[in-house]
């Protein structure tokens, strides 16, 4: 694996931080996180055991790269800036367990949270649902208030090597090999759970057809492309986060 130069590390760090800030803005436009319930993180490309997170309390709609702080493995920040500790408890163990994960996102949504309360599986009812064929897991636990890292470690264990996780009676969690992929996966998953709630008796497509669709969507990098559309639609001028 080729080691990145100092310039390349700085450029990648800037890219990840911008996508985190844009992700918060997208969530705000969708009316998610109005109560401060949610978080988006990105692994630092140099200090890979640390993650970037929005300082607390900053409204999602006002997020900029300057509002992001680097959270160390022990949950502290360099200057003592206040953070949402629940974000640390949930996200850090996922980053720690999954070297391939760059971004993690979680918030409470109108369809995802009630769907998670049903305990039902994700079935391939739509093309979008195929994105998560064999890529989702379920955290079947009553601990909806994640009070410490141990809860987050059990969440990471439940996630395993999957892309997204349904947190029982809590909500959705997505991961990705980029922050852009993570945000688009979360938005897509919310749309999938909406269909599952509205059409619970619909006949799913076959697993074989779902795998074909999943692999083709991955080949086209549909999630990365979707992030660009989300920024254009919900943020507009992306420079507002700089």
Q: How high is the pLDDT of residue 3? A: 77
Give the Cα separation of 95 and 99 in Å (integer). 7
Whether the bond into 27 is cis, omega within 30 of 0:
no
C-alpha distances out from residue 238 to 18, 65, 79, Å: 9, 11, 28
In this structure, which CATH number among 2.60.40.10, 3.40.225.10, 3.30.540.10, 3.30.70.60 belongs to the domain 6-241? 3.40.225.10
Give the Cα separation of 171 and 35 in Å (integer). 15
183 exposure class (CB count in 10 Å sphere: 0-12, 13-18, 19+): buried
In sequence order, the 6+-apart residues with CB closer than 8 A to the CB of 80 are none
User: For the whole model, what pTM was predicted?
Assistant: 0.96
Give the Cα separation of 188 and 225 in Å (integer). 12
| Residue of 236, 228, 242, 140 lying closest to 187 (CA atoms) | 228
Q: How high is the pLDDT of residue 162? A: 98
Per this entry, what is the length of the chain? 242
Pairing of strands 136-139, 164-167: parallel
State the CB neighbour count (10 A cutoff) for residue 36: 14
pLDDT tens for each residue of 31-85? 999 999 999 999 999 999 999 999 999 999 999 999 999 999 999 998 899 999 9
DSSP string, 206-234: PHHHHHHHHHHHHHTTHHHHHHHHHHHHH
Average pLDDT over residues 143-151: 90
């Amino acid at each position: 694996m080729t080691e990145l130069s100092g310039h390349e590390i700085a450029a990648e760090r800037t890219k990840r931080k911008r996508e985190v800030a844009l992700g918060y803005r997208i969530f705000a436009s969708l009316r998610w996180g109005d109560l401060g319930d949610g978080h988006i993180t990105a692994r630092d490309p140099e200090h890979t055991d640390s993650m970037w997170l929005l300082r607390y309390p900053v409204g999602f709609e006002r997020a900029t790269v300057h509002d992001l702080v680097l959270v160390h493995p022990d949950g502290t920040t360099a200057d003592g800036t206040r953070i949402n500790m629940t974000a640390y408890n949930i996200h850090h163990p996922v980053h720690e367990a999954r070297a391939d994960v760059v971004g993690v996102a979680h918030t409470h949504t109108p369809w995802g949270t009630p769907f998670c309360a049903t305990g039902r599986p994700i079935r391939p009812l739509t093309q979008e649902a195929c994105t998560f064929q064999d890529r989702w897991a379920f955290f079947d636990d009553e601990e909806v208030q994640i009070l410490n890292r141990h809860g987050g470690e059990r969440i990471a264990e439940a996630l395993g090597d999957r892309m997204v996780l349904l947190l029982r009676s809590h909500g959705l969690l997505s991961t990705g090999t980029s922050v852009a992929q993570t945000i688009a996966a979360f938005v897509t998953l919310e749309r999938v759970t909406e269909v599952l709630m509205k059409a619970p008796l619909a006949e799913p497509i076959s697993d074989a057809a779902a795998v074909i669709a999943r692999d083709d969507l991955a080949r086209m990098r549909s999630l990365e492309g979707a992030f660009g559309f989300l920024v254009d639609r919900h943020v507009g001028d992306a420079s507002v986060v700089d």
